[in-house]
Amino acid sequence: MKYDAIIIGAGMSGLAAGIRLGMFDKKVLILEKHSIPGGLNSYYQRRNFDQGGIRQFDVGLHALTNFIKKGEKGKPFSKLLKQLRFSYDEFNLCPQTYSKISFPDCELKFSNDFELLRSEVFEKFPKERDNFQRLVEKILSFNELDLSQGHLSSREILKECLHDELLIEMILCPPLIYGSAWENDMDFSQFVVMFKSLYVEGFSRPKGGVRTIITLLMNKLKEVGGEVKFKTSVSQILVNDRGEAHGVVAEGREIFAPIIFSSIGYPETVKIASQNFFSGFSPRVGAMTFLESIFVFDQKIPLKMNDSTIIFYNNDKNYRYESPKNYFDPTSAVICYPDNYEPNLTEGEGVVRLTYMANYDLWHKLSREEYLPMKERVSDNALELVKKITPEFQGKLLFKDTFSPLTIERYTWHLNGTVYGSIDKTKDGRTPVKNLFIIGTDQGFLGIVGSMLSGISMANLHGLMEAP
């Protein structure tokens, strides 16, 4: 079997790359280990017959970042629509109400109108007014898409602009937990991407959640003639003696193509490629992994108790974005209220999702008997936090579920259950092996919009402009 390109992984980046290549008549094959598409942003269902039947859940997507209004131009999301030939309305975006960064003595709200965050900073940190303005100007004029940009520490740059430690921590918190593979810091290019996509552009969610995006991508891929094989694991990337990738081994069968795009992560890709071409270079596996508890109540939490969409919660005097010493870090969390994307809907069940940072090694060492009680402990802790934020809420809990770093590893095959991948990114997608390119998380564009743009730009650069 001969293809023009093979893509490993049917997540957001792989599907987007497949669409771009297929659109220009390349014969594309996408190989996916899981039985469904989506990768890190996927979905599942749970049957719970005595409590309301089958429920659908999203994994990953709390928010689609990079919100634009219809007709807004020159933004990442509008580029994505054009490159994949979607119209704005197909995504059916429901904008957030607002979100907030909640620390012990201070709260900063932000929404899809950047002026809210600006006025919040002015009000709560009046001495930082001019400094914050300068920081914003620096960020807005920074070319984060310059793939040759060297590595810069965001924390260092923030310290040069701002003096108040608390403000620095608060501004860093959402970008870190929504995309940093590193502990306690991130690359400044990535910070700029996140600052614009979270604070300047904002959050929305497609009606129907992540399935809406995946369905759009799968239909488009089919339309342009792309092929996907599910439950198909790639065990080896074939490299010839000139150091060029020319195919893969999938389920024991060799499949050939002159170009391979891998979305499975950089360390994960190196593991299945011929090691000798990497001459000792091995991208490091990141330390950041997470736990998430989902709660379904018999009613929605009334807006008068909580009208925010996402709360970046921290209950300690410092914000630590690092692999916790214990199984999870209960002092900080991201709490997502997906119902508040459609605050006019008051009928129906209420959902809360709560994410904690977790320690992979400790979870990995748990025995089967210890694992479920530990998940239960996390879930109890999370439910306490939900109650603490909305103490008057009387809704009856109908269903709960928790996924752990082991769950992430089991369904995404990311080593150590990492969500933001390796701390070694390859911004232009190149690897020491010719014709083997990295797309998705470890190419370095972040979030759902970022990973689709990663697939698009790498397919354009390596598959269409420099077609081998």
Partner 1 sequence: MANVRQIVVDIISDIAPDEDVTNLDDSVSLREQLDLDSMDFLDIVMELRKRHKVEVPQEDYPKLATLESCVSYLTPKFVTA
Q: How many residues does the chain have?
A: 468
CA distance 423 to 456: 22
Neighbouring C-beta atoms of residue 441, cutoff 10 Å: 32
From candidates 42, 66, 83, 407, binder to partner 1 by CB under 8 A: 83
Among the listed ranges 27-35, 43-51, 86-94, 324-332, the one in contact with partner 1 (CB under 8 A) is: 86-94
The answer to whether residue 69 forms part of the interface with partner 1 (CB under 8 A) is no
The answer to whether residue 219 forms part of the interface with partner 1 (CB under 8 A) is no
Among the listed ranges 50-58, 73-81, 207-215, 325-333, the one in contact with partner 1 (CB under 8 A) is: 73-81
Closer by beta carbon to partner 1, 95 or else 432: 95
Closer by beta carbon to partner 1, 41 or else 451: 451
Distance from CA of residue 344 to its chain's centroid? 27
Tell me the Cα Rg of the chain: 22
From candidates 1, 2, 25, 52, binder to partner 1 by CB under 8 A: 25
**Residue 347 DSSP one-character state:** S
Residue 327 structure tokens: 């199984």
Residue 382 structure tokens: 């999370």
The answer to whether residue 365 forms part of the interface with partner 1 (CB under 8 A) is no
Beta-carbon contacts of 168 under 8 Å, excluding residues fewer than 6 positions away, are 155, 158, 159, 162
Among the listed ranges 67-75, 185-193, 235-243, 307-315, the one in contact with partner 1 (CB under 8 A) is: 67-75
181-219 b/e with 16+ CB inside 10 Å = b?
bbbebbbbbbbbbbbbbbbbbbbbbbeebbbbbbebbbe
Alpha helices in 54-103 (DSSP H): 76-84
Residue 228 structure tokens: 């996907």
Among the listed ranges 65-73, 92-100, 369-377, 399-407, the one in contact with partner 1 (CB under 8 A) is: 65-73
The helix (H) or strand (E) run that includes residue 5 is strand 5-8
The answer to whether residue 82 forms part of the interface with partner 1 (CB under 8 A) is yes
Closer by beta carbon to partner 1, 133 or else 460: 460
The answer to whether residue 165 forms part of the interface with partner 1 (CB under 8 A) is no
From candidates 2, 69, 85, 222, binder to partner 1 by CB under 8 A: 85
The answer to whether residue 79 forms part of the interface with partner 1 (CB under 8 A) is yes
Residue among 411, 287, 294, 417 at smallest CA distance from 39: 411
The answer to whether residue 24 forms part of the interface with partner 1 (CB under 8 A) is yes
Q: φ and ψ at 129, to 5 degrees?
A: -45, -60
Residue 373 three-state SS: helix
Closest distance to partner 1 from the beta carbon of 332 (Å): 38
Closer by beta carbon to partner 1, 72 or else 156: 72
Site mask, partner 1, residues 371-410, x = CB under 8 A? ----------------------------------------
Closest distance to partner 1 from the beta carbon of 29 (Å): 20
CA distance 200 to 440: 23
The answer to whether residue 428 forms part of the interface with partner 1 (CB under 8 A) is no
Closest distance to partner 1 from the beta carbon of 159 (Å): 34
The answer to whether residue 87 forms part of the interface with partner 1 (CB under 8 A) is yes
**Residue 24 DSSP one-character state:** T
Beta-carbon contacts of 284 under 8 Å, excluding residues fewer than 6 positions away, are 267, 422, 423, 424
Terminal Cα-to-Cα distance of the chain (whole angstroms): 18
From candidates 70, 304, 365, 368, binder to partner 1 by CB under 8 A: 70
Site mask, partner 1, residues 28-47, x = CB under 8 A? --------------------
Residue among 66, 92, 82, 299 at smallest CA distance from 203: 66
CA distance 437 to 262: 6
The answer to whether residue 143 forms part of the interface with partner 1 (CB under 8 A) is no
Among the listed ranges 70-78, 253-261, 334-342, 438-446, the one in contact with partner 1 (CB under 8 A) is: 70-78
The answer to whether residue 73 forms part of the interface with partner 1 (CB under 8 A) is yes
Closest distance to partner 1 from the beta carbon of 465 (Å): 7
Closest distance to partner 1 from the beta carbon of 77 (Å): 11
Neighbouring C-beta atoms of residue 130, cutoff 10 Å: 9
Closer by beta carbon to partner 1, 78 or else 236: 78
Residue among 282, 267, 289, 104 at smallest CA distance from 183: 289
Closest distance to partner 1 from the beta carbon of 195 (Å): 21
Closest distance to partner 1 from the beta carbon of 82 (Å): 5
Residues of the shown chain interacting with partner 1 in the complex, contacts defined by CB under 8 A: 24-25, 70-71, 73-74, 78-79, 81-83, 85-88, 456-457, 460, 464-465
